[in-house]
Amino acid sequence: MKYILTKEEFEKLPEALQSEYKLEGDNATLTLEGHEDAFVEKGKWQEAEKHRKNAEAKANEVEKREAQLLKDIEAAKGNEKKIAELRESHEAEVARIKEENEAQLKEIKARQHKAMIDAEATKFANEHFTVPSLVKDAIAKRLTVEEIDGQPVIRTLEPDGKASSKSFDQVQKDFLENKEFSSIIKASKGKGGGAAHNPDGKGGGAAKQVTRAEFDAMSQADRLTFSKDGGEVTDGE
């Protein structure tokens, strides 16, 4: 599928495909806002392109059928029964093609939405956990995609899969404070050499190091604050 179409090319597309473009002046551009990060893998991009080309081929098929119908009607002038049969057959075939088109577009969007969720979950897991694979899928299950004015937007879900009013930042906080994952939370590096949280509550000082055992012995709140303030977890005893 072309990324830039002339106005004439755009107007020949079925309505379902026109919605994928933004018409400005004499050109129409394929709308990809919100999808750039979704196509992070070449294989996924190629798969999406294959479906788009199939949809374009079907659009061309509809156009050819319409041209043929006009020729057949011209040839059947005076035979109203034949013309009615031609129109009925044409409409049934066009309806079938459009239904297939819509199904393919729906599949494309589903793939894009899944890729968006995977990208967000992978990014967060890699940034905050020493073993990202242990939490990535759990994070992905708390996310969904909603179409707002034709654009995909990440939304959150409750653990039971129901829609949530929480922001993605709040869901991330849930994971960082979850005891189940406390042992694999990364200790973040502080910026500018600032003070770190002192888990014994006896004042500040330079960013400090603690052993894994000491880190695990902290409360969830202390672990989170310690990590954010630049504390480091060592493998020492």
One-character DSSP codes across the chain: --SEEEHHHHHHS-HHHHTTEEEETTEEEE--TTTGGG--SHHHHHHHHHHHHHHHHHHHHHHHHHHHHHHHHHHTTT-HHHHHHHHHHHHHHHHHHHHHHHHHHHHHHHHHHHHHHHHHHHHHHHHHBSSGGGTHHHHHTTEEEEEETTEEEEEEB-TTS-B----HHHHHHHHHT-GGGGGGB--PPPSTT-----TTSS---S--EEEHHHHHHS-HHHHHHHHHTT-EEES--
- What average pLDDT does the structure give for the chain? 75
- Stretch 116-120: mean pLDDT: 91
Between 125 and 229, name the one with better pLDDT. 125
Residues 62-81: tens digit of each pLDDT: 778 788 888 888 888 888 88
Last residue of a domain, one of 75, 100, 116: 116
Residues 13 and 100 in one domain: yes
State yes or no: pLDDT of 139 exceeds 90: yes
Q: Which domain holds residue 98?
A: 4-116
User: Which of 8-17, 113-122, 129-138, 187-196 is predicted with the least confidence, judged by mean pLDDT?
Assistant: 187-196
Last residue of a domain, one of 69, 85, 116: 116
Residues 101 and 22 in one domain: yes
In a domain, 174, yes or no: no
Residues 205 and 110 in one domain: no
What is the rounded CA–CA span in Å between residue 3 and residue 42? 17
Last residue of a domain, one of 116, 148, 172: 116
Between 52 and 141, name the one with better pLDDT. 141
The pLDDT, as a whole number, for residue 30 is 66
Number of structural domains in the chain = 2
